[in-house]
Chain A
Amino acid sequence: MVSQKVKFKIPMKNHIQKNKSYTVSTNLVYEHNNTRNTVNRLITALAALFAFISLVPLILVIGYVIIKGASQINLDLFILEPEPPGYDLDFAGGIGNAIVGTLVITLMATFISIPVGVGGGIYLAEYSKGGILSKFVRFGVNVLAGIPSIIAGVFIYAVVVVSKIIFGSTFSGIAGALALSILILPIVIKTTDEGLKLVPDDLRKGALGVGASMFTTIINVTLPSAFKNIATGIVLGLARAAGETAPLIFTALFSYYHISSMQDILSEMSSLSVLIYNFALEPYEAQNQLAWAASFVLVLLVLMLNIFARIIAKATSDS
């Protein structure tokens, strides 16, 4: 089919330019070389290029972490303590204490933020009726989520480390956990609030209607049905805490030794993220290699937690 082009003059109107001729195609065949189709394809290609560029760093980072880190994985790495930099140029030891430290600090942080976060979330979803306090708390949660993580570290440094408020300890694992819990809190409170809001109101009314108290309703009916959402939030919070460094560098500091007793959470504690930060900036090759190995373990841990959270969330939407 040949496209027919007709030139004609549009009658004079206010909003159309005088005496300008317009080309109008009268058939409905897709014209490949039409300007607007070409421009369309160009912008589509540009968007695809942008998406590709966005993905390149992810692939490169994960690739390098696997190449440089996974090759060093062996049993010693998981058990031994790191050697002080410069002590032995060929062997930097392991990251055993850092793995334990990360697990202990993040678990402590999560346990600190669960009562506050879930309790606050229950208030927002179940008790508040859109009053001033709930508006203020929701606003506060969003603001708290946007506070730079290093500020949480500075705050805990001033309140806990300098004042020695916790059994006279200065830099300690518990101080690091407190700093991290400030960062997790908004995540837990938000997911609890949203999870509880998704519970159908009929369940609540049914429970209250058969004479259950508010407490019984929440504990036995609404919380269990929102459990998966809340669990997702907590696991995401764990993942966030495990990857954070800034709040730990002057609260938990770093240690070269394994923890041996409960007493040790009151003293300086190592973590994977601080180990990476410290050892990446050392001039020694062995320490840099250890930082890559620690990165591999940390990325694996964080990604697994994220995927785990995704699986929990998916199980919710299916049921």
Chain B
Amino acid sequence: MKTKEEKIFSLKQRPNSEKWIDLSFRNFTITMASMVGVILISILVVVFIESKDAIKEFGLDFLVTADWDPINNKYGAFTAIYGTTITSLASLALSIPLGVGTAVLLTEDILPKQLNELIGIMIELLAAIPSVVLGLWAVFVMEPFLRPFLNLLHQYFGWIPLFGSEASGPGIAPAILILTVMLLPIITSISRDSIEQVPSKLREAAYGIGASRWCSIFNIILPAAISGITGGILLALGRAMGETMAVTMIIGNSNNFSFSILSPGYTISSLLANQFGEADGIQVSSLMYAAFILMVMTLIINIIAQWLVKKLSLKYQ
């Protein structure tokens, strides 16, 4: 016969229903987590399968021919690939000094702390503005304002193929500038984070042996943060290549190939945005092929970027 105390303190088995709930909740979370992988792989597979016809038809010539001829069903994505490459690289070249410079300014004690915080918040807000609104602004405000300056560029540097045509409206150059605006917040915030991760001992040591502010920034702090900054730059590159709306609105959407950044062009994503709705047959497949190329390009860049960012965070832990 058990006493009252023994009854209270005797081990109680968990009821089966509770065990079942516990187990099925665990399985539910595992399923949900695997969904990420399923989505990712199915995106790759679906886009690849849809582009099979075009891959069979055009092969690797697709990458180097510039015809886009829906009447004769001959497609080549060189114009779009050139557009994607030149817009993303040029906008990166413009936004790296601006973004890293701002990040350094924000991490140094040059400005009062409140002002630093304000600038930081404003740059984060810039990242939140929808790209279609930036596109609208670019079409109606920025491009008309810039056109005379771009034409001056053509007038004086017209002998360089990059400026070999007159700016007469939407084109690659305004697209580069609006992309720069979109990349700035990414580069600034990631550079800022990586610079803040550099141990303050390094900076103190540099000041201690008499280095000036910028001497220690260029020789000590930026090199220490370089893998994080490079990672941020690569993430921005991935974003630049995939950015669609603002670019589609301002790049002019023309498949006539021209080296000049003052003439209208295409990027892969604007090609998709512009033509996907009214395409059929082999044209859809060709667009899918272009999408596949874009995806592989951004995937590779993103993976390298993540590896670099991870490398830095491990270095100083």
Give the residue name and chain of the A residue nearest to B245 (CB).
A245
Residue of A whose beta carbon sits closest to that of B43: A155
Chain A 195-254 residues near chain B, CB threshold 8 A: 213-215, 218, 239, 242-246, 249-250, 253
Contact A246 to B277, CB < 8 A, known contacts A47-B105, A48-B110 = no
User: Would B295 and A40 count as touching, CB distance under 8 A?
Assistant: no
Q: Across the two chains, which residue of chain A brings its CB closest to B99?
A: A54
- Bound-state CA distance A268–B27 (Å) is 36
Let me know if A280 and B105 touch, CB within 8 A: no
CB pair B272 A146 closer than 8 Å:
no
Given contacts A147-B242, A281-B249, contact A214 B137 (CB under 8 A): no
A64 within 8 A of B: yes
B37 pairs with A140, CB closer than 8 A: yes
Q: Does B312 contact A (CB under 8 A)?
A: no
Instruction: Give residues of chain B (118-139) contacting chain A, Cβ–Cβ below 8 Å.
Output: 119, 122-126, 128-137, 139
Q: Is A6 an interface residue (CB 8 A)?
A: no
Chain A binding surface SS class: helix
Whether B32 and A115, one on each chain, are in contact in the complex, defined by CB atoms closer than 8 angstroms, is yes
| Size class of the A contact interface (CB-based, 8 Å) | 35 or more
Among A115, A147, A280, A291, point to the contact of B295 (Cβ < 8 A).
A147
Q: Which residues of B contact A137 (CB under 8 A)?
A: 33-34, 36-37
Q: Which residues of chain A from 32 to 60 have a CB within 8 Å of any chain B CB?
A: 36-37, 39-40, 43-44, 46-48, 50-51, 53-55, 57-58, 60
Which listed residue (A50, A189, A213, A244) contacts B130, Cβ 8 A? A244
Q: Is A60 within 8 A of B137, CB to CB?
A: yes
A249 touches B40 (CB 8 A): no
Q: How far is the CA of A126 from the CA of B19 in the complex (A)?
A: 17
Task: Given A151-B294, A157-B276, A215-B25, answer yes or no on A141-B136 (Cβ-Cβ < 8 Å).
Answer: no
A51 touches B306 (CB 8 A): no
Which of A72-80, A90-98, A257-265, A296-304 is the interface stretch?
A296-304
> Hey, which chain A residues are within 8 Å of B244, CB to CB?
148-150, 245-246
Could you tell me if A57 and B43 are in contact, using CB atoms closer than 8 angstroms?
no
Contact A215 B128, beta carbon cutoff 8 Å: no
**Would you call A61 and B132 a contact (CB within 8 A)?**
no
**A167 contact set on B, CB distance < 8 A:** none
Given contacts A47-B105, A54-B188, is CB(A243)–CB(B130) below 8 Å?
yes
* Contacts A50-B98, A215-B21 given; does A120 touch B43 at CB 8 Å: no
Contact between chains at B128 and A243 (CB < 8 Å): yes
A170 in the interface, Cβ–Cβ < 8 Å?
A: no
Tell yes or no: B92 within 8 A of A by CB.
no
For B12, the closest partner residue in chain A by CB is: A211
**Chain B residues whose CB sits within 8 angstroms of the CB of A286 once the complex forms:** none
Q: How far is the CA of A142 from the CA of B309 in the complex (A)?
A: 12
Q: Are B137 and A273 in contact (CB under 8 A)?
A: no
Q: Is there a chain B Cβ closer than 8 Å to A187's Cβ?
A: no
Is A104 in the interface zone, CB < 8 Å from B?
Answer: no
Can you list, as one digit per residue, whether each of A257-291 has a CB less than 8 Å from chain B (1) or not (0)?
00000000000000001001100110000001001
Nearest neighbor of B101 in chain A, beta-carbon distance: A50
CA distance A292 to B140 in the complex (A): 10
In the assembled complex, the Cα of A187 lies from the Cα of B221 at a distance in Å of 30
A interface footprint on B40-79 (CB within 8 Å = 1, 0 otherwise): 1011001100100000000000000000000000000000
User: Is A123 part of the contact surface with B, judged by Cβ < 8 Å?
Assistant: yes
Q: Tell me if A2 is interfacial: C-beta within 8 Å of chain B.
A: no
User: How far apart are the CA atoms of A54 and B36 in the complex, in Å?
Assistant: 35
A65–B36 Cα distance when bound, in Å, is 37
Of the candidates A116, A250, A302, the one whose C-beta lies within 8 Å of that of B35 is A116
| Residue among B28, B139, B298 making CB contact with A148, cutoff 8 Å | B298
List the A side residues contacting B276 at CB < 8 Å: 154, 157, 249-250
Q: Contact at B36–A148, with CB atoms within 8 Å?
A: no
Contact of A295 among B46, B128, B136, B181 (CB under 8 A): B136
- Give, as a whole number of angstroms, the nearest-CB distance from B315 to chain A: 19
B137 and A277 contacting across the interface, CB-CB below 8 Å: no
Q: How far is the CB of B132 from the nearest CB of chain A, in Å?
A: 4
Encode B88-115 as 1/0 by CB contact (under 8 A) with A: 0000000001110110111000110000
Q: A144-B36, A158-B47 are in contact. Are A277 and B135 (CB under 8 A)?
A: yes
Contact call A306/B98, Cβ cutoff below 8 A: no
Are the C-beta atoms of B130 and A298 separated by less than 8 Å? yes
B212 within 8 A of A: yes
A146-B238, A150-B273, A243-B132 as given contacts; A54 in contact with B98, CB under 8 Å: yes
Question: What are the interface flags for A110-151 relative to B under an 8 Å C-beta threshold, 1 for contact and 0 otherwise?
Answer: 000001111110111011100001101101111110111111
Which 3 pairs show the lowest CB-CB distances between chains A and B?
Answer: A148-B242, A119-B32, A243-B130
Q: A127-B29, A182-B43, A299-B130 given. 14 additional CB < 8 A pairs?
A: A36-B215, A40-B213, A40-B214, A43-B214, A51-B105, A55-B123, A57-B126, A123-B30, A133-B33, A146-B242, A147-B40, A189-B36, A218-B25, A280-B139
- Measured CB to CB, the residues of B under 8 A from A are 14, 18-19, 21-22, 25-26, 28-37, 39-40, 42-43, 46-47, 50, 97-99, 101-102, 104-106, 110-111, 119, 122-126, 128-137, 139-141, 181, 184, 188, 212-215, 235, 238-239, 241-245, 248-249, 269, 272-273, 276-277, 287-288, 291, 294-295, 298-299, 301-303, 305-306
Which residues from chain A sit less than 8 Å from chain B, CB to CB?
A: 36-37, 39-40, 43-44, 46-48, 50-51, 53-55, 57-58, 60-62, 64-65, 115-120, 122-124, 126-128, 133-134, 136-137, 139-144, 146-152, 154-155, 157-159, 182, 185-186, 189, 213-215, 218, 239, 242-246, 249-250, 253, 273, 276-277, 280-281, 288, 291-292, 295, 298-299, 302-303, 306
Provide a sorted-by-A list of 21 A–B residue pairs whose CB atoms are within 8 angstroms.
A51-B106, A54-B98, A55-B122, A57-B184, A116-B35, A119-B33, A140-B37, A146-B238, A147-B40, A150-B291, A151-B47, A151-B294, A158-B46, A158-B50, A185-B39, A215-B22, A246-B273, A276-B133, A277-B245, A298-B133, A303-B129
